[in-house]
Homo-oligomer: A and B are copies of this chain.
Amino acid sequence: MSADRQPSHIAALEAGGTKCICAVGRTPDELRLLANRLEVPSDSGPQQVLARITAWLSTQHAREPLQAIGIASFGPLDLDPASPSYGSITSTPKPGWRNTDWLGEFARTLPGVPVAIDTDVNGAALGEWQWGAAQGLDDFVYLTMGTGIGGGAMVGGRLVHGLLHPEMGHMRVPRIAGDDFAGVCPFHGDCWEGLCSGPALQARTGTAAHGIAADDPAWGYLLRYTAHAIGNIVCTLSPRRIILGGSVRKAGALGEAAYFAGLRRELQRSLNGYVTSAALRGNDEGGGIDDYIVPPALGDEAGVCGAMALAQRRVALQP
């Protein structure tokens, strides 16, 4: 975007496992305004969600033309531009959402408006890189723990796609002795997501995350499994920072601060001094582990701001 031009008018769609948030504006601040956004529960299914969102966006577009649409969606997604199902959800365990064609639907209802699409977590990573906790860092990971668990990664300033896109939540972790919870992932049972997502916590305790007592052993399990998973990410991607968003981090009666403190301690235990870096040490003088695993600076707006960042980049790349 050239300096003398006003920022583009953009639609940002964050499609999450619990709700889909659509917002329009020119800046992250504008996205937050109530008049500029629509929220639809994901459980109402893709037909309903798409119908409401495209109707609302058509009204917005008639009022002031949208210059791009950014979609940051849960997955797995087909992100291969050469594929016939490019821009669709593929093998999701989420009932009804398989083969939802985001890109096709927007191309049909808002023809001529360029659409950028990536995973919810790659989008959130880009948003945090542009406006949040990853500014100035070209190698970092954005994780979300909520209805599902996912991770987006930037390496050398580029979002990681490769064969498909990362699916970090489905990583396998060692089981803790004495824990016989089977896990809830329909594909893998006790992968990280199967053990530590919001629905997993609910299945384990019979209570939603926000209702679990601070001394419930579920938190200890969750922190130790998550520390092993994050340790595996450190061993594989060697990120300079890990941003952890999603609803689970709010950790009910345990609280977000205790959750992050526990996670940092358990990560140090899991790595056991093998990865030698000041970034993973105690935080007495700053720059240590307290700055290594952090919540998103954009808070719960990381996803929708990320969708805007995806769209802005798309507009900037246009001739």
Interfacial residues, chain A to chain B (CB-CB below 8 A): 76, 78, 90-91, 139, 151, 153, 155-156, 158, 160-175, 187-188, 190, 228, 231-240, 270-277, 279
Residue of B151, B161, B190 touching A236 (CB-CB under 8 A):
B151
Known: A187-B274, A276-B91. A162 touches B168 (CB 8 A): no
Instruction: Tell me the complex Cα distance, A155–B153, Å.
Output: 11
Q: In the complex this chain forms, how many copies of it are found?
A: 2
Instruction: Tell me the complex Cα distance, A255–B274, Å.
Output: 33
Instruction: Tell me the complex Cα distance, A166–B151, Å.
Output: 17
23 contacts between A and B (CB under 8 A): A76-B275, A90-B276, A91-B274, A155-B155, A155-B158, A155-B160, A160-B237, A162-B237, A164-B275, A164-B277, A165-B238, A166-B235, A166-B236, A168-B235, A171-B235, A172-B173, A172-B174, A172-B228, A172-B232, A174-B174, A187-B273, A187-B274, A188-B274
Given contacts A78-B276, A160-B237, A171-B231, 15 further A-B contacts (CB under 8 A): A76-B274, A155-B155, A162-B240, A163-B238, A163-B239, A164-B238, A164-B275, A166-B235, A166-B236, A166-B238, A168-B236, A172-B270, A175-B175, A187-B273, A188-B274
**Closest CB-CB distance, A122 to chain B, in whole Å?**
11
Please indicate which of the listed interface residues A187, A271, A274 has the most CB atoms of chain B within 10 Å of its own CB. Answer: A274
Q: Which 6 A-B pairs have the closest CB atoms?
A: A162-B238, A139-B162, A155-B155, A187-B274, A156-B158, A236-B236
Instruction: Tell me the complex Cα distance, A228–B189, Å.
Output: 14
Known: A139-B161, A156-B156. A166 touches B237 (CB 8 A): yes
Residue of B163, B166, B239 touching A277 (CB-CB under 8 A):
B163
